[in-house]
Structure 1
Amino acid sequence: MAIIPAFNEQDSILKTLNGLRNQTRLTDEIIVLADNCTDDTIAIALEAGVSVVESAGNARGKAGALNDLLGEILPILDAEDSVLVMDADTELSDRFIETTVDTLYGESKKPMAGVGGIFLADDDGWNVVRQLQANEYLRYQRRLARRRGKALVLTGTGTVFKAGVLLGVQ
């Protein structure tokens, strides 16, 4: 299952959804979590054929909207199900889900709760926000390299979690 929290992402949501549909390992369901959207994000997601959960009047931001949705979904999932949480302005590499799920459920010396990836900024034209994003992604890559790939924080950009672990945290 993939959950995509979105706040006014009409310009990027379709590219994000298409990226999910081009994965080498597909998700069983895609849910766009439309948090206080006032643009066409909901209409675009519905037209694309995915599930939409609308969070209107949510004053607790992305985390609050995610916690509410996860509170409804996690009790009906198996502990070993996987949940991808990703940003609505992100396009994952074609093998992201396959690779993260294989890593999450593969042999490991230590138990894992979730697996993320290294992210690159989109190069479709330069602007200050894209440059800041690129700088942040490079900083994150350097920190991971220093820790030999061990992340202390899994980003919202794209992370696959075990449902049982999320339920335990909740």
Structure 2
Amino acid sequence: MLSRRMALALSGTGLLTASPALAAEMFDDHHLASDRQRIEQAYRAFNAAFGNAASVAALYAERAVLLPPTHDIVRGRTAIRRFWRAAFDAGLHGHTLDLVTFRSDVRTIVTAARWSARGRDAQGRPATFGGIATIVFARHGDGGLAIWLHTWN
């Protein structure tokens, strides 16, 4: 792997244009700390909004896709809002996301996280649920993020 200084020197000569993978890797190295902050901010916003279907749905891109463990495919912000409203009406609350890892480029950030939430089990007893979530964020021009794809187990 090229050192960062060598990669920057080569990019000035045009020799780096043949390696999009290296350019993406440099992007990751350069933006690692700020992307981690953006992800953590987006996770905090999701956790804070959890319980309000309209607020949660607003965090998704207009054409986002939600892939819950039920194997349903929920397309678009309106359908996502309905999905979350039903979950909240059933008593789901107290959501957390804890970052495991991420990979980013100039257009997207792909994250893996541990999640947990509280609700009721099939017998109506209080229960805690959890698993692993994958969330793909699309970058806005203003530096913000919108959820483009969300799935969990």
Q: TM-score range by the shorter chain?
A: under 0.3
> Higher strand proportion, which one?
2
Q: Larger Rg: 1 or 2?
A: 2
The normalised TM-score by structure 2 is: 0.26
The normalised TM-score by structure 1 is: 0.24
